[in-house]
């Protein structure tokens, strides 16, 4: 596919890298020629200097031959206008706009229908949703959902105190009757898609396919916390804090926000009378202690400065039992975060890039199904995809014991969701037309179920 991107910031660059790695041709438009030059050195793109809302610039960049148009500049208004112009020039063109302002986000349906935009992506709202999910399972470091929430991938750290340390996956399965599957393991920087003989060790990070109820039972079996956080202390009153607070207030959670800007405090107090809004410096350790950091269930630093968020998170981790979730803007800090002993990190820009990449794959589908959901794990070395099974005699109605012999290496069928039923597949199970099939693999670029065959 030919992709045309407006905006060469962190999101635009990350998205361009992802799409190029998936085999697409990518052109990037931005007024900042220096940023374009640096991007072209890092990724195989065609840089196009100019205004992304100028029809002549769009045509020079290849609008007529583009399959998808993506506007991810820092300006919501420019993104919407650019998509409007592109969609007006090419009625058959798929268009995606990044929109962050809560005012616009409330009008998503209107904007899509009236402006002809195929999809609107809100990274701040998506990041808030990610944090919200983690607050429901404080013992986990990451949660991703498939099949409209019927199946999930849960990521956790194996501790020496857990009764799965030193046991093979077969042993764990024989000792319990939980309907779960360990589908990926990271150990000392190496990623493995494990077989039943694989032995877990303390220090491993494991990804587990399960339903929500099964995962709760498994966490209880491990002696880990399985109940949701009931009180949350947030530093920084920006857009993500706005979305997160709205989600938490709706389920009657206690929310306290520390914000250094008095005007933002006043606005948040008016919007969320149920929450406690505190004017102060959320990076001051003594101030955090006075605001009850030692006693809250969760601490979420959401300031606009990554270093402050990391320092606050490290301090909270050392002096409290709170679930700590850290927001990081800079995608190049991903490796650094792996070195730190923190609970969870959320990268809004990576969430945005992955969401758009998922949409692109879904519209470049091959035979036998398409990408419904896509997540990248473990520094992009593992992809977990939800693929919908369509007509394909090479895949359907064949026992998995037989089909498994024909699958690519480093790939497993982790889960099947059929008519709302969650299935961890065995050798006797088969893929049926219409199934949602969850695939875990170290191969990148799979866009159809047929491509899982060797």
**Distance (Å, rounded) from C-alpha 80 to C-alpha 32?**
20
Q: For residue 225, what pLDDT is reported? A: 82
Q: For residue 337, what pLDDT is reported? A: 64
Size of the chain, expressed as the number of residues it contains: 454
Which of these, 337, 119, 127, lies nearest to 234 by C-alpha position? 127
Pairing between strand 382-388 and 411-418?
unpaired
- Residue 369 pLDDT > 50: no
204 by DSSP, 3-state: which? coil
pLDDT per position as a tens digit, 195-227? 889 999 999 999 999 888 888 888 988 888 888
User: For the chain, what is the mean pLDDT?
Assistant: 89
**Distance (Å, rounded) from C-alpha 318 to C-alpha 334?**
21
Write the CB contacts of 163 (distance below 8 Å, at least 6 apart in sequence): 221, 222, 223
CATH class of residue range 351-452 = alpha beta
Tell which wins on pLDDT, 370 or 397.
397
Residue with tokens 């520390």: 258
Tell which wins on pLDDT, 340 or 51.
51
- Residue 272 pLDDT > 90: yes
Structure tokens at 323: 């679930």
Q: For residue 336, what pLDDT is reported? A: 64
**Distance (Å, rounded) from C-alpha 80 to C-alpha 77?**
5
Q: Where are the domains of the chain?
A: 2-121, 143-221, 232-346, 351-452
Task: Provide CATH code, domain 2-121.
Answer: 3.40.50.720
Give the Å distances, CA to CA, from 229 to 51, 208, 233, 253: 46, 21, 11, 8
Beta bridge partners of 97: 71, 120
Instruction: Please tell me the least confidently modeled range out of 173-182, 229-238, 426-435.
Output: 173-182
Pairing between strand 151-157 and 142-146?
antiparallel
CATH architecture under which domain 232-346 falls: 3-Layer(aba) Sandwich (3.40)
Q: For residue 366, what pLDDT is reported? A: 43
Q: What is the mean pLDDT of residues 369-392?
A: 80
Instruction: Please tell me the least confidently modeled range out of 8-22, 32-46, 374-388.
Output: 374-388
The domains spanning 2-121 and 351-452 adopt the same CATH topology: no
**Distance (Å, rounded) from C-alpha 336 to C-alpha 213?**
33
- Residue 388 pLDDT > 80: yes
Topology annotation, domain 143-221: Alpha-Beta Plaits (3.30.70)
**Distance (Å, rounded) from C-alpha 288 to C-alpha 312?**
9
First to last CA, the chain: 23
**Distance (Å, rounded) from C-alpha 4 to C-alpha 16?**
9
Q: For residue 364, what pLDDT is reported? A: 65
């Amino acid at each position: 596919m030919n992709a045309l991107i407006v905006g060469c910031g962190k999101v635009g660059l990350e998205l361009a890298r992802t799409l190029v790695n998936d085999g697409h041709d990518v052109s990037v438009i931005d007024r900042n020629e220096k940023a374009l030059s640096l991007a072209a050195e890092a990724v195989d793109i065609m840089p196009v200097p100019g205004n992304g809302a100028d029809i002549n610039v769009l045509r020079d960049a290849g609008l007529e031959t583009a399959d998808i148009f993506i506007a991810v500049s820092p300006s919501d208004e420019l993104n919407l206008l650019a998509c409007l112009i592109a969609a007006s020039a090419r009625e058959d063109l798929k268009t995606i706009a990044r929109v962050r302002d809560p005012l616009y986000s409330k009008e998503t349906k209107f904007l899509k229908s009236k402006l002809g935009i195929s999809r609107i992506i809100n990274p701040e709202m998506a990041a808030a949703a990610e944090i919200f999910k983690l607050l429901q399972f404080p013992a986990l470091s990451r949660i991703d959902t498939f099949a409209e929430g019927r199946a999930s991938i849960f990521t956790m750290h194996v501790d020496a105190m857990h009764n799965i340390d030193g046991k093979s996956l077969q042993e764990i399965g024989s000792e319990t009757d939980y309907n779960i599957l360990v589908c990926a393991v990271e150990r000392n920087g190496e990623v493995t898609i494990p077989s039943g003989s694989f032995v877990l060790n303390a220090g491993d990070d494991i990804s587990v396919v399960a339903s929500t109820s099964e995962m709760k039972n498994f966490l209880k079996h491990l002696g880990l916390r399985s109940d949701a956080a009931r009180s949350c202390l947030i530093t920084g009153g920006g857009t993500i804090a706005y979305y997160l607070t709205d989600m938490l207030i709706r389920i009657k959670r206690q929310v306290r926000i520390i914000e250094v800007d008095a005007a933002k405090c006043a606005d948040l107090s008016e919007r969320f009378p149920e929450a406690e809004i505190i004017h102060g410096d959320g990076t001051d350790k003594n101030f955090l202690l006075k605001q009850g950091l030692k006693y809250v269930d969760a601490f979420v630093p959401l300031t606009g400065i990554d270093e402050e968020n990391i320092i606050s998170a490290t301090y909270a981790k050392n002096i409290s039992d709170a679930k700590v979730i850290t927001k990081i803007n800079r995608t190049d800090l991903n490796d650094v975060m792996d070195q730190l002993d923190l609970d969870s990190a959320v990268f809004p820009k990576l969430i945005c890039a992955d969401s758009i990449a998922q949409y692109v794959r879904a519209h470049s589908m091959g035979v036998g199904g398409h990408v419904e959901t896509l997540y990248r794990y473990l520094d992009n070395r593992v992809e977990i995809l939800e693929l919908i099974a369509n007509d394909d005699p090479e895949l359907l109605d064949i026992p998995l014991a037989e089909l498994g012999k024909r699958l690519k290496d480093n790939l497993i069928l982790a889960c099947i969701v059929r008519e709302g039923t969650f299935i961890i597949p065995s050798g006797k199970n088969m893929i049926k037309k219409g199934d949602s099939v969850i695939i875990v693999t170290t191969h990148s670029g799979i866009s159809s179920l047929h491509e899982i065959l060797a």
